[in-house]
Chain A
Amino acid sequence: DGGITQSPKYLFRKEGQNVTLSCEQNLNHDAMYWYRQDPGQGLRLIYYSQIVNDFQKGDIAEGYSVSREKKESFPLTVTSAQKNPTAFYLCASSLRNPNSPLHFGNGTRLTVT
């Protein structure tokens, strides 16, 4: 079955530590995205990538970093510079076509204490 896999589902870290969230897709999509969701809120775009080895900042990129070395993979690193990292992180992918819907993974819930 094609889809997007995010791992792990739950992640706990101590303040001051960097942490990397995994996102893998086998849908052969060129575009991939990372969103952050806080309780009762909509999704806010962190980073997106339209093609391998290229990515752009979204609305809330500060304190985050990404890489896109392979078409299938788009890992997100939450650095110690992110002031409020505790949130639900969602990865998505799509065709490079503005009329193509996004396909989402089931998210990683990160808790930093």
Chain B
Amino acid sequence: SQQGEEDPQALSIQEGENATMNCSYKTSINNLQWYRQNSGRGLVHLILIRSNEREKHSGRLRVTLDTSKKSSSLLITASRAADTASYFCASYSGAGSYQLTFGKGTKLSVIP
């Protein structure tokens, strides 16, 4: 079952521009996580935001969470070609669940 859905499915920007990806989820959450996947590789954890947080920063990453709208956004500022990857949001499927459920991802292309 799909807990998160990212939007857009694909995004192409010029190097130096900002990239914004959105995620919507269905059930209540303890936290929401964002991961990056380079082509043909495993996922790498980027940032975790807890349900009682509204915004979190890590380097060039900024994540927001709106629990009333069941949505989150990931902003990558001053993008680089190396940011080209797929980005996934993930959350646990309900209280007490150990199943981390992923969306289908946003494929980001940063053009040099």
Contact surface of A with B, Cβ cutoff 8 Å? 4, 6, 31, 33, 35, 40-43, 45, 48, 50, 56, 58-59, 88, 90, 92, 98-99, 101-107, 109
Contact = CB atoms under 8 A, between A and B. Distances in A.
Q: Which 5 A-B pairs have the closest CB atoms?
A: A104-B42, A101-B45, A42-B104, A43-B102, A42-B102
A6 B40 CA distance: 13
Given A43-B102, A99-B30, A101-B48, A106 B41 contact: yes
B30 A45 contact: no
A107 B98 contact: no
Interface of B: 1-2, 4, 30-31, 33, 35, 40-45, 48, 50, 88, 90, 92, 98-105
Contact of A45 (B101, B103, B105): B101
A102 B43 contact: yes
Contact of A42 (B33, B42, B103): B103
17 contacts: A4-B42, A6-B42, A31-B98, A42-B103, A43-B43, A43-B102, A45-B99, A45-B101, A48-B98, A92-B43, A99-B30, A101-B45, A102-B45, A102-B90, A102-B100, A104-B43, A107-B41
Contacts of A31: 98
Contacts of B100: 33, 45, 102
A56 B104 CA distance: 23
Given A41-B104, A42-B104, A42-B105, A90 B98 contact: no
Given A40-B104, A48-B99, A98-B31, 13 more contacts: A6-B42, A31-B98, A35-B102, A41-B104, A42-B103, A58-B99, A59-B1, A59-B99, A90-B43, A92-B42, A99-B31, A102-B45, A106-B42
Given A50-B98, A98-B31, A99-B50, A43 B44 contact: no
B48 A43 contact: no
B99 A101 contact: no
